[in-house]
């Protein structure tokens, strides 16, 4: 029964926070991406006769199709993150390390924001179209390492005795000691200097917009998680137990 409540709660929270994220992206992030795509020169660096023989990778059409796929992807990701947070909060509550209140919910949201966005962004800032970046597999591997190391470090610093705090600090530092994968040279290789200036400005705007968008997402997701845990996932069980005790 508890497992089903948690899964159903994750779906509800994912729908809510996924729509919140999609809305903030459409307002603040998407316009920057569209502006940066104007400066893409992928076709210019490839001979015209070779372009016709290259297989075209599928991508959603601009407009409603692209927006729809983005919303679906955000909701599915949010359901996965909500499942993780619900299990984490339930475990911490069972260990009497937290309470199901808005304060601990928002702190959990901030912690997840640090782990899943801020720490990886320190080594690999969010990228816009036209950016030069290392191989996707290398970036994904470093991102995963950073998330795991940051989560372990933050949990140790928050909940462990003082004698273990140094381990938490080392865990936070490990990804940056290894170093994020980067290519040598400038971030943008557009042949027009004015385009590079515009792209650099758009990149700064993009980093700020994605930072705010992700903060709103994680706070809304964590707040919804703590609220559902308190009013629905665990409250019925408490009420049932109270009724049994009264009947006795």
For residue 116, what pLDDT is reported? 97
> Confidence band (pLDDT; 50, 70, 90) for 186?
confident
For residue 85, what pLDDT is reported? 95
Beta-carbon contacts of 216 under 8 Å, excluding residues fewer than 6 positions away, are: 20, 21, 24
Q: Where are the domains of the chain?
A: 2-40+64-132+185-247
For residue 41, what pLDDT is reported? 53
How many Å apart are CA 228 and CA 86, to the nearest integer? 9
How many Å apart are CA 242 and CA 238, to the nearest integer? 6
The answer to whether the CB of 65 falls within 8 A of the CB of 24 is no
> Confidence band (pLDDT; 50, 70, 90) for 54?
very low
For residue 169, what pLDDT is reported? 97
pLDDT tens digit sequence for 97-154 = 999 999 999 999 999 999 999 999 999 999 998 888 889 999 999 999 999 999 999 9
Task: Return the closest-CA partner of residue 116 out of 164, 82, 166.
Answer: 82
> Confidence band (pLDDT; 50, 70, 90) for 45?
very low
């Amino acid at each position: 029964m508890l497992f089903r409540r948690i899964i159903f709660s994750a779906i509800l929270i994912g729908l809510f926070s996924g729509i919140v994220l999609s809305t903030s992206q459409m307002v603040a992030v998407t316009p920057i991406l569209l502006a940066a795509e104007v400066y893409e020169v992928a076709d210019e660096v490839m001979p015209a006769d070779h372009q016709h023989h290259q297989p075209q990778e599928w991508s959603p059409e601009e407009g409603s199709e692209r927006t729809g796929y983005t919303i679906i992807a955000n909701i599915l990701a949010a359901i996965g993150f909500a499942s993780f947070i619900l299990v984490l909060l339930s475990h911490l509550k069972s260990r009497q390390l937290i309470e199901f209140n808005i304060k601990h919910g928002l702190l959990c949201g901030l912690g997840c924001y640090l782990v899943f966005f801020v720490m990886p962004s320190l080594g690999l800032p969010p990228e816009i179209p036209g950016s030069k970046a290392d191989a996707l597999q290398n970036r994904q591997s470093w991102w995963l390492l950073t998330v795991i190391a940051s989560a372990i470090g933050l949990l140790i610093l928050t909940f462990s005795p003082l004698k273990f705090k140094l381990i938490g600090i080392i865990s936070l530092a490990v990804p940056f000691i290894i170093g994020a994968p980067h290519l040598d040279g400038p971030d943008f290789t557009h042949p027009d200097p004015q385009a590079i200036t515009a792209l650099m400005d758009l990149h700064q705007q993009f980093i700020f917009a994605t930072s705010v968008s992700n903060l709103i997402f994680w706070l809304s997701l964590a707040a919804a998680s703590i609220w559902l845990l308190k009013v629905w996932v665990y409250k019925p069980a408490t009420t049932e137990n109270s009724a049994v005790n009264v009947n006795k």
